[in-house]
Structure formats: C-alpha cells, structure tokens
Structure 1
Amino acid sequence: MVVVNALIFGLVLAVLIGPVFFTLLQTSIEKGLNKAILVAIGIFFSDVVYINLAYFGLSQFINDSEYKEWIGYTGGGILIVFGIVSLFKSRKKTNIVHRSVSVKGFFRYIFKGFIINGVSPFVLLFWLGAMSMATIEYGYSGETLVLFFGVIMLIVFITDVIKAYLAGKLRALITPRLFTILNVAVGLALIAFGLRMFVYSW
C-alpha cells in the first residue's frame, strides 16, 4: 500500500506544471537529452534537500497528539492551495521561458536544475504538505516513510527523463492545450488530497 500511495502522489507531482517543467523541456530541445538528464539530477537533489527540511521541521511535532490535528489541517490546506493555483494557471496562456544560470562546465546543468527548483519557497511548502499527509494521514515513519518518499522521487526522476526525451521527439504535441489539461488534472488531484487530509483530521 505504501508503494501504491507513493505511485499515485508521484505521478501527480510528475505532471505539476512550473518553471522546472519548462526548464527541463527547454534544455532538452536546445541542448539535447544528456544535458536535460543532468538538469533532472539537479532537480532530484534539490527535492531531497527540501524533503529533509520538511521532515526535520515537522519531526518535533509529529508524535505530539496536540499538534497532529493542526499539522493535518495545515498540510491539507497547502495541497488545496496548490491545487487551486494549478486550476487558475490552466486559464492562462503558457509560454516556455528559458532561465540561464551563470555556471560553466559539466555541473552547470545539475546546478541549473538544483537552483531553479530550489529558489521557489513553494517547493518547500509543497513538500511540507506531502510530509504532513505521509506522517499524519498515512501514519508512515522510519523505513516506511523513507520508502514512500524514495518511490516518489524515483517516479519523478524517471518521468523527468521521459519528458526530456519526448520533448525532442514530440515537440509538436507540447501545446498550450496540453498544458491546460495537465494543470486541471493536477489541480483537481491536489485538491482531492487536501480534502482527504481535512476529513482525516476532523
């Protein structure tokens, strides 16, 4: 069941539309698949850092029953807000924007993925919501919690590589309409996750 829950959440996260998504596609189209994979590695490490920050930020409260209800409500609220934002984004025209990072050499693209994913405070907020869901609603801890987030990160990394590959092969299919559909689907899914946490914490 842990793997199934991680699979569902990982797939939702994999199609979340944001600066990282477009950076990955842009790099693949302009620089090739190999460079895009390096960007995906940077994104991966950035998420690992934020997951750890989310865990250590909540760990002192997770086992205290007095705080569990508030953690549940806060986490659910964060996921619902992300869902609503995603729905609003589906109504806007989407453009691919290239962001440059002034670092040269092999590690430039890893650094690029790490920084572009890490500069947004919303990334940490998102992982706080996910951590709240995993610990409060699902009751995961220790090795189970590591497995949950490990599967999520594996899914995200694999799908990032797939997206980078398809960006070069199926460029014509990457249309504003596709982004709109993805934003709506992700928005509804995140709202559903958030509402489940509210019901669970009630």
Structure 2
Amino acid sequence: MEIVLNGVISGVVLAFLIGPVFFTILQTSIERGFVSGAWVAAGVSLSDALYIMISYLGLYQFFENETSRLYLSYVGGGILLIFGLYYLFIKSRKLQEYHPEHIKSRSPLRLMAKGFLINGLSPMVLIFWIGTVGLATTEFGYVDDWQVATYFSAIVATVFATDLIKAKLADKLRMVMTRQTIRRLNIVLGIVLLFFGARLILYADKLV
C-alpha cells in the first residue's frame, strides 16, 4: 500500500507540471471531444511507460552520452517547432465555421501518436524518469521487480487518470466554444509548442 501511495504522490506531482502535453490534451478535447483527448492521453502514458522501461533496463546509458543527448535535443526541438508552426499558421486558419458535430474524427492510432511524440520528444522526460528510477531504487529501496512495477504503474495510472480529468473538463467547454475561441486556442498551443521547441534547441548544450 505504501508503494502505491508513493507512486500516486509522484504521479500527482508529474501531472501538474505544465508543458506542451497539458495544452495539447486541452486543445484536442475542446476541439474533438473527450474520447479524442483520452487517446492523446493514452499516447502520453505509452511514451512514459517506454521511457520507464528504458531507464530501468539500463538503456539510458546511451542517452547519457553527450552527443546522443545533444542530437536528441535538436531533433525533438525541431519537431516541436514544426508542430508549433502548424498550429499557429495552418491549423488556426483552417477553421471557417466551428460546429463540434461536424469535425471529422481521427483514428485512435493517430491521436495516440500525437500524444506519444509531443511527450516523448523532449530529453527532459527521459531525464525525469532516470531520476525517478534512481529515487525508487535508492531512496525508497524498491529493488524487487514487483516493487518497481507497482510503483511506476501507480505513477503512470495516476498521470493517465488526471489527464482524463483534464480531457473531460475541457470537453464540457466544447459546446459553448465559438470559432474565434477555437482559433485562439490553436494559436496559444502553437506558441506554447514553439516556446518549448526553441527552448529545447537553445539550451541543448546545457543538457549535456
């Protein structure tokens, strides 16, 4: 029970870190509904689970190489910039008339890929999970596989649950959204993604 509680606490802390994922889930849920936002959240959780496995299995040593982390920062920052430019200059202009019931649905796989990429492209996510693995094994003393699995399952489940809550709350707003409001939301998301992408590239050398 203590392991689960520690995992939930860690998950709550992670869930309230404001980043591009937070705005992406809100934007998707407001524009496309709760189910679409939930699929994006699932992609986020999938990328978190993958990074946990990489960290725990020791593959993170590859990413601790300065050159690898530098290239990852540049590639991740570049892709975030592309996403940001798309939402700022293309997506925000595509809306001619906003009717929630007329918005085309997207495949779950595509929505999951969106969440997976935006969350997983930043080296800081991997660095966070490496630190969390260290905390679990040293500070908490979780050395058995079942202890580690329980702890990190609780974290991922907590983050996923809070992301679903964000998506549901955002979904409640979609029926009162105007075309102009949706356009502004896309502009805000574009600016946020551009900020994090540029920051990742400009401060890449500080990650190594």
> What percent of counterpart residues are identical?
50
- The alpha carbon displacement at 1:140 in A equals 0.3
CA distance in 1, matches of 2:9, 2:59: 23
Alignment of 1:83-98 (within 5 A): 98=87
Alignment of 1:12-27 (within 5 A): 12-27=13-28
* Corresponding letter in the other structure for 1:118: G
Q: Matched residue pairs, number?
A: 133
On the 8 A contact 1:54/1:127 being kept in 2, the answer is yes
Question: 2:126 maps to what in 1?
Answer: 124
Question: 1:148 maps to what in 2?
Answer: 151
Q: Please tell me whether Structure 1 or Structure 2 has the larger radius of gyration of its CA atoms.
A: 2
Moved over 4 A (4+): 97-100
Structure 1 residues 102-123: Cα deviation after superposition (integer angstroms, max 9, x where no partner): xx63411011011111111110
Question: 2:6 maps to what in 1?
Answer: 5
* Corresponding letter in the other structure for 2:167: A
TM-score, normalised via structure 2 length: 0.59
CA distance in 2, matches of 1:105, 1:36: 12
Which SS does the other structure have where 2:57 is aligned?
helix
Which SS does the other structure have where 1:57 is aligned?
coil
TM-score, normalised via structure 1 length: 0.60
- The alpha carbon displacement at 1:168 in A equals 2.8
1:113 aligns with 2:121: no
RMSD, aligned α-carbons: 2.4
C-alpha spacing 1:144/1:98, structure 2 compared with 1 (3 Å): farther
* Corresponding letter in the other structure for 1:12: V
C-alpha spacing 1:47/1:17, structure 2 compared with 1 (3 Å): same
Which SS does the other structure have where 1:47 is aligned?
helix
On the 8 A contact 2:55/2:126 being kept in 1, the answer is yes
